[in-house]
Amino acid sequence: MDYLLANTPIEKLESECLIVAIFEENQLSPAAQTLDSLTDGLISNILTRGDIKGKVADTLLINYLPHAAIKRALLVGLGDKNDLSSKKYRKAVAAAANTLKATQIKSADCCLVENQVTGQNLTWNARHIVEAFDAPFYQFNDCKSKPAAKLTLTSISLHSETDAVAIQAGLDQGLAIAQGVALTKHVSDLPGNICTPTYLAEQAIEIAKQHKNLSAEILEEADMQKLGMGSFLSVSRGSRQPAKLITLEYKGADANTQPIVFVGKGLTFDAGGISLKPGAGMDEMKYDMCGSAAVLGALQAAAQLQLPLNIVGIIPSSENMPDGDANKPGDIVTSMAGLTIEILNTDAEGRLILCDALTYAKKFNPDVVIDMATLTGACLVALGRVPSGLLGNDDTLCNDLSAASETALDSVWRLPLWEEYQDQLKSNFADIANIGGRDAGTITAACFLSRFTKDYKWAHLDIAGTAWKSGDAKGATGRPVPLLVQYLLDRANAA
Ligand code: BES
Ligand code: MN
Ligand code: ZN
């Protein structure tokens, strides 16, 4: 989809379809008013008939207008004129996009930027229009012998006669986020037999090639052996696919600026290992690399926006398979940090690969480290599929992420990382066990990671409930790319 900025007054505009807002109680937005006068009161007549009530996300496509230059109009309800929240706005724009998806319209002019959203500015409005329009037009066609019918809509013009600079900024941000999200969804939706650790490494190299100050480095199993990554390598031992440790480095600030480091869990398939998972729904464990895909998407977006920051993305990638050489319950391995780990359940493998990646992160002298991982089923029990779980050892970092999540409409909810929970990880035979029992599974998983992150400010995002959808709408969501990019934008603004 192309996104353009258009400043032609509506009176002089030629358009296949003009998208205008209406409110409850037959109230018109400024653009709707202009269209109303151009069409001898057609819009207000339709509202008086009661065919559209103006509730949030109501839409009505008018296929013919008595005004030759504008062929159609899409009315979009924004609810109560004096109470337009961020979520309502985003929901309404998404409804507009979904309505147009079902038509033959090729390009549309969107007049929704002008509507005041509580607490937000025009840049925010423009950016969320781009994000909301892009999402429903994502298609996964790689593996179908006949691709799904091509979608007709290919271009959206954001209409505003003023504030071009602010709107263009939102457009640029929105496009970078939308393309980061689309990349993340695509890599995540690919099946495990295509998206292997080697494939992820190739993708990182490819993304790095496309941007001048982005570089990729791939460590092989032999390199990791030298670094002493006994925990990470123990997970990979049960797999025919070689593990990879992928590093993407983006340099947008001077060399002595400490980097923001992202670490993403990259289990390209998690069968559970010897602690084998039940069969039902196991296909969804191809999504156990969504954290790593989000790192790729966020780094791509940062490079596209040329943010004045240094950013490092670290992706430990492996499969977790049952095999004669796989980890066995009771095995004890030694991590890169020197801590020994008793593996009581081989299905708690994410933390085993992340702990070595988190130790490796120290070499970049990080300002902050944020990891994202489809880490625990318990996160779904605790928080469902609405927010990602957030835990960390630094209140400022956690608060910054919470604030960014609200701007990005990519929610998080913080869980406590109190020392009382650490006792659940006691092992009789090693320094630490890899599971903490039935209670508070998301917290004890984060407790495990916290043993390896003491030297820097760190936050952990458990995205098990938010990275993909199950059922009829099965597919990756691209979360938490919007949150990560917003955090970067906020940091760039503060710098
Ligand atoms: N990748 C899974 C977590 C997961 C499960 C994410 C379901 C999304 C949906 C992770 O590797 C895992 O298996 N975790 C175990 C940990 C347990 C053995 C302590 C879990 O959550 O059951
Ligand atoms: Mn597992
Ligand atoms: Zn896993």
Ligand 1 pocket member 376 (CB < 6 A) = yes
320 vs 268: CA distance, rounded Å: 8
Ligand 1 pocket member 316 (CB < 6 A) = no
Residue found under tokens 């390896």: 452
Q: Give the model confidence (pLDDT) of 115-161 as tens digits.
A: 999 999 999 999 999 999 999 999 999 999 998 888 999 999 999 99
Structure token pair of residue 488: 């970067």
Q: Count the helix, strand and coil residues of the chain and give each as a percent rounded to the nearest 5.
A: 40, 20, 40
Residue 287 alpha carbon to ligand 3 centre in Å: 9
Residue 375 alpha carbon to ligand 1 centre in Å: 6
Ligand 1 pocket member 449 (CB < 6 A) = no
Residue 270 alpha carbon to ligand 2 centre in Å: 6
CB half-sphere exposure, 444, CA atoms < 13 A: 19
What's the pLDDT score for residue 149? Answer: 86
Residue 336 alpha carbon to ligand 1 centre in Å: 23
What's the pLDDT score for residue 108? Answer: 98
**Ligand 1 atom showing the smallest separation from residue 434 Cα:** 19
Rounded to two decimals, the pTM is 0.98
**56, 75, 371, 468 from 93: Cα distances, Å:** 10, 11, 31, 21
**Ligand 1 atom showing the smallest separation from residue 288 Cα:** 1
**Ligand 1 atom showing the smallest separation from residue 441 Cα:** 19
Q: Which CATH class, in words, describes the domain spanning 178-494?
A: alpha beta
Fold match flag (2-143+153-159 vs 178-494): no
Ligand 1 pocket member 319 (CB < 6 A) = no
Helix extents (H) in 328-438:
350-360, 377-383, 395-408
Residue list, CB under 5 A from ion ligand 2: 270, 347, 349
Hey, which residues are catalytic here? 277, 351
Ligand 1 pocket member 435 (CB < 6 A) = yes
What is the residue type of 363? K
What's the pLDDT score for residue 163? Answer: 96
Residue 401 alpha carbon to ligand 3 centre in Å: 24
156 vs 133: CA distance, rounded Å: 8
- Let me know if 438 is exposed, middle or buried by CB neighbors in 10 A (0-12, 13-18, 19+): exposed
Ligand 1 pocket member 378 (CB < 6 A) = yes
- What is the dihedral angle through the alpha carbons of 35, 40, 42, 44, rounded to the nearest 10 degrees? 80
**Ligand 1 atom showing the smallest separation from residue 285 Cα:** 1
Peptide bond into 480 cis (omega under 30): yes
Helix extents (H) in 39-120:
42-49, 86-101
Could you state, in order of their start, the residue ranges of all structural domains in the chain? 2-143+153-159, 178-494
Nearest protein Cα to ligand 1, atom 9: 377
Return the CATH number of the domain spanning residue range 2-143+153-159: 3.40.220.10
Nearest protein Cα to ligand 1, atom 6: 464
Shortest CA distance to 230 belongs to which of 375, 373, 355?
Answer: 355
Residue 343 alpha carbon to ligand 3 centre in Å: 14
Ligand 1 pocket member 258 (CB < 6 A) = no
Shortest CA distance to 109 belongs to which of 6, 216, 187?
Answer: 6
Nearest protein Cα to ligand 1, atom 8: 464
Instruction: Report mean pLDDT in 10-residue bins for the chain, 495 residues.
Output: 96 98 98 98 97 97 96 98 97 98 97 98 98 97 92 96 97 98 98 99 98 97 98 98 99 98 99 98 98 99 98 99 98 99 99 99 98 98 98 99 98 98 98 98 99 99 99 98 99 95
DSSP classification of residue 320: E
Q: Is the distance from CB of 236 to CB of 243 less than 8 angstroms?
A: yes
